[in-house]
């Protein structure tokens, strides 16, 4: 084997090892990657039950129901579609109707969303970019509501 041939063999083996390593890393991260969706996107795409995702939008006025100290049901809307959310735990202090929210959890078989964490916007001028983009797409966004 010539010197050029050995060099080519070493480079191709190294590239193969890097390719396999990258594939293994992506496979390992597959369960931890969480995608952001708005209620309209979930309805349009037909997201399958059991899918872990982040649901973002506005808390619909008049939808918050406290069943006991820690069980809460509310509706997230983006103006085009609504999605019911159930959550067990303490809500953030800034959580209220009409405000931006991101709920992370799992889509239930009945079409509702079971959240295991709820994030509320942290002041009156901020809204996560994903939520602002989804609201703009639906035509619900009003200029001056937040920083897109």
71 is in an annotated binding site: no
Q: 87 labelled as ligand-binding?
A: no
Taking only Cα atoms into account, the Rg of the chain, rounded to an integer number of angstroms, comes to 22
**Closest of 97, 91, 95, 99 to residue 116, by C-alpha:** 91
Closest CA to 32 of 52, 12, 17, 49: 52
Q: Is 101 helix (H, G, I), strand (E, B) or coil?
A: strand
Instruction: List, as residue ranges, the binding site for heme.
Output: 122, 126
Instruction: List, as residue ranges, the binding site.
Output: 122, 126
């Amino acid at each position: 084997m010539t010197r050029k041939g050995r060099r080519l063999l070493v480079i191709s083996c190294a590239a193969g090892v890097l390719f396999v390593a990258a594939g293994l890393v992506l496979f390992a991260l597959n369960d931890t990657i969480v995608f952001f969706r708005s209620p309209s996107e979930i309805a349009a795409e037909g997201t399958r039950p059991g899918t872990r995702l982040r649901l973002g939008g506005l808390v619909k006025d008049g939808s918050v129901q406290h069943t006991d100290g820690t069980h809460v049901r509310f509706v997230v809307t983006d103006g085009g579609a609504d999605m019911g959310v159930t959550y067990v735990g303490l809500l953030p202090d800034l959580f209220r109707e009409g405000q931006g929210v991101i709920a992370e959890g799992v889509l239930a078989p009945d079409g509702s969303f079971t959240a295991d964490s709820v994030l509320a916007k942290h002041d009156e001028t901020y809204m996560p970019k994903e939520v602002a983009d989804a609201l703009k797409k639906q035509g619900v966004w009003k200029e001056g509501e937040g920083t897109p």
